Amino acid sequence: MKSGRQHRWDVTYQSGSFHRNNTPIFLRAAEYQYYRDRAENWEARIAQIREARVNAITFYIPWRHHQPDRSMEEPDFTGRSRENRDVPRFVRLIAEAGLMAIAKPGPFVHSELNIGGLPDWTSPSAAPAVEPMRRWDGSPLTWEYDRSILPAPYAEPFLSESLKWLGAVSRILEPFRAPAGPLVAIQINDETLYCASNSPPWMMGYEKSTLEHYMREDPDTPARRWLDGDAPASSLSWSAPTDAPNRREWDNRIAWARYQTWIRSDTYRIYREALKLDLPYLSNYAGMTPPIEENVPHRDALTLHETRSPFTALSSRYADWWIAHNPIELDRDLCHYGFISWLGVTPYNIADPRTVDPDHPVVPNSVFSRYINTATRGRGINMEENWGFASLYHPYSRHAFIPIFQTLVSIAGGATGYVAFCAVSHGYWEESLDRTTKLQHPHFPSAAPIGPDGEERPLYGAMRELNRWLAVHGDDLVRFRRHEDMCFAVYQPYSALASWCERWPADDPPPFQGHPGLETLSNSAQEVGYVPSWIGLDGRETIDPREHPRVVLVLWRAMEERVQHLLASYIEAGGMLYYAGRMPEEEWDGSGCTVLRDAWARHPDRVVALAPALTDPVTTPEETEALLHGVGVRARVPLEPGARVLLYEGETREEFIFFFAYDRSRDHTMRTGAATITVAAGAKCCGVLRVSGSRLVAWYIKGVNEVEDTRALVTVTTEEESREFSGDTSSASESSGLRPVTSLHAE
């Protein structure tokens, strides 16, 4: 692989994407888990990944792989105890290939490993003196793959050992830091702490060490009361989560949400300080979706995502859990937003790993809508797209149509890059590293693009062709502006309350922002062509009406003065505010505050009431469309359910058009203004077009659906021409399914 060429990695990270010389770079990355492969294979596999037009490799660094025994004074990073522990050699091979590297050192990494990659000696399962993380009832938090107990992050000796581990990782990685080396970014933890970014608020944080640490950090919190058994949902106190709360309980639940947020962000902060690497730090939030389901062998333990509890009736509150615990604007100085894609099988609207039904209902397509809600929450990278987890997640994932469809959905939603997770089916690891997944399949993942012996599977060619097109057009995608029809604004305290509440007095509608609420409205509106984005009000200083001309939100009786001023300034600057609920009249302490109401009085034409509440404002997409039309909000590309269009707009008459047709029972016609796209009935398909003025200048279309062995016929018409495409086709490929061009201006 050595080329003799000197590489430099002069890249920065800004506005949610990598840049070189102030020009955006679209990340075309692949995950390669060196610790599951033989070191003798590394060079060949990295060469294959590079030939698939990848520009970066991501990889976890599992603590338990490098320091499995506490008797080891230092982790083995040189391969002295096992050849595939030689991290410097692995990173040098990435450098010699001219690729960028993104390292993910945990301490908890997930990766389907025992204890999520933590050594046995850090777990209370093997070391009872270590304090566990605890759930609402005092029971320990367990890891779903091996039922091991997860340690409390601030408990000693786990905290000291974690920081020591990250310090050792830092010393190994520092020589490879960009610009002299390929290491361009770091990801700490995984899906926040212990994969908890979409978990309910009663599943972690009830342990003494974390509460005591929080109390030292912020003495004004109710943490002392919580230590005495007054935490929300504590087995010692509050046991009626479905009842409407009083003002004292408002304060308690809002404080609890801020505490849950603090656990996730503060661990990131202390781990980042331990690494001391001057690099961008990325994150990988789980989707705004119900807890992810997996085909984990022998899974029957209560785990982080287990919702069987006295609070089962609150399982539909998942979006409010996400909003309450992940106010990403507050963490902008700690880490950059990124997300993962394990939301289901998007073109089939299948949200679980067991349903195998090509005729599964796709209207409404909640999986697709949740994907867009997650991708539009912030600009960033899709850090994990499922490329081949056919055994652990869903058997349809072995077919190229599925990962390509979902990768394009994430990019259409705003992703500035994606990671094919994983590029290689690994087959070399011991039970001491991962004792669970081999019970299901000998390779991990089962159907990745590159097989365990280097064989190039169908997904490999699919990944290479997609990356070939993105290598030409991806950087411009990042530079263009993603079109939105409306922007949903969310406020942490409202979701902090809604996370716990099933019922509320009829005369005082609840501040639900999830389901029912803004998520329900978003999902329904997307079915008829509306394209949303999402922002958070917590930690935000301004909302630019040029970027978000129409903001939709839930309002309630209380809202802090700072946020009321933020919204009032938005109105004053010309923004349109659409709300459901009631105008706030007070601060959270009960003192009067009518800043937003006063701005409405000054600009009554810029504030529009949608409904008294979003508890159940509409029942069908058509009713949603009528509701929005009634207040003057229209989709740029109106659609009938079963297809989607999302756009990127350039400074001139140039745009990218992403289209998706997943209801194959009928024809779909999508009119964007620049082009008309028709997909004939009988096949699902997806694609992206680049139109300049009235000319179609580039295209990538995935028209072959290997799940059902169908081939789509797509017609694209602009002012100048009409073209028909059959099956798979790309303007960047040497072969194409393009049929002859018919000029509309021909004599």
**Residues 660-696 pLDDT 10s:** 999 999 999 999 999 999 999 999 999 999 999 999 9
Mean pLDDT computed over 127-138: 93
CA angle 657, 661, 665 (to 5 degrees): 155
Which pLDDT score is estimated for 246?
73
Q: Model's pTM, two decimal places?
A: 0.95
Q: What percent of the chain has pLDDT over 70?
A: 92
**Residues 71-107 pLDDT 10s:** 999 999 999 999 999 999 999 999 999 999 999 999 9
State yes or no: pLDDT of 616 exceeds 90. no
Which pLDDT score is estimated for 4?
46
β-sheet with 281-282: strand ranges across: 281-282, 183-188, 100-106, 56-60, 27-31, 415-421, 380-386, 338-340
Q: Tell me the residue type at 146.
A: D
State yes or no: pLDDT of 223 exceeds 50. yes
Which pLDDT score is estimated for 630?
94
Predicted confidence band of residue 612 (pLDDT cuts 50, 70, 90): confident
Which pLDDT score is estimated for 747?
23
**Residues 259-300 pLDDT 10s:** 999 999 999 999 999 999 999 999 999 999 988 788 888 665
Which pLDDT score is estimated for 231?
74
CA distance 588 to 568: 18
State yes or no: pLDDT of 740 exceeds 60. no
β-sheet with 713-717: strand ranges across: 668-671, 676-679, 713-717, 721-726, 742-743
Mark residue 678 as left, alpha or beta (left: phi above 0; alpha: psi -120 to 50; beta: remaining).
Answer: beta
Mean pLDDT computed over 29-39: 99
Q: Give burial (CB, 10 Å; 0-12/13-18/19+) of 449.
A: buried
State yes or no: pLDDT of 742 exceeds 70. no
Predicted confidence band of residue 310 (pLDDT cuts 50, 70, 90): low
The string of DSSP codes covering 636-698 is SS---TTEEEEEEE-SSSEEEEEEEE--TTS-EEEE-SS-EEEE-TT--EEEEEEEETTEEEE
Which pLDDT score is estimated for 738?
41
CA separation (Å) from 152 to 143, 149, 551, 723?
Answer: 13, 10, 40, 60
Q: Which of 50, 47, 49, 52 is nearest to 1 (CA)?
A: 47
Predicted confidence band of residue 651 (pLDDT cuts 50, 70, 90): confident
State yes or no: pLDDT of 330 exceeds 90. yes
Predicted confidence band of residue 744 (pLDDT cuts 50, 70, 90): very low
Q: Which residues, 6+ apart, have CB-to-CB distance to 174 below 8 Å?
A: 277
**How many residues are present in the chain?**
747
Q: What percent of the chain has pLDDT over 90?
A: 82
Mean pLDDT computed over 203-223: 90
Which pLDDT score is estimated for 347?
99
CA distance 217 to 261: 13
CA distance 5 to 97: 10
In degrees and rounded to multiples of 5, residue 65 shows phi and psi of -75, -35
- Is CATH 3.30.460.10 the right assignment for the domain spanning 12-482? no
Which pLDDT score is estimated for 733?
85
Which pLDDT score is estimated for 123?
97
- Residue 407, SS3 per DSSP: helix
Mean pLDDT computed over 8-18: 96
State yes or no: pLDDT of 736 exceeds 80. no
Which pLDDT score is estimated for 237?
40
**Residues 389-445 pLDDT 10s:** 999 999 999 999 999 999 999 999 999 999 999 999 999 999 999 999 999 999 999
User: Of 11-25, 477-491, 502-516, which range is least confident?
Assistant: 502-516
Q: Give the tokens for residue 169.
A: 């990782």
Which pLDDT score is estimated for 515?
82
CATH for 486-630, options being 3.30.70, 1.10.730, 1.10.10, 3.40.50: 3.40.50
State yes or no: pLDDT of 735 exceeds 70. no
Mean pLDDT computed over 165-172: 99
Which pLDDT score is estimated for 620?
87
State yes or no: pLDDT of 739 exceeds 70. no
**Residues 556-578 pLDDT 10s:** 999 999 999 999 999 999 999 99
Structural domain spans, the chain? 12-482, 486-630, 643-743
Which pLDDT score is estimated for 723?
96
State yes or no: pLDDT of 207 exceeds 80. yes
β-sheet with 12-14: strand ranges across: 12-14, 17-20, 23-25
CA of residue 692 relative to chain centroid, distance: 31
Which pLDDT score is estimated for 235?
41
Where does 239-380 have alpha helices with state H? 247-275, 318-325, 366-375
Which pLDDT score is estimated for 226?
86
Average pLDDT over all residues of the chain: 92
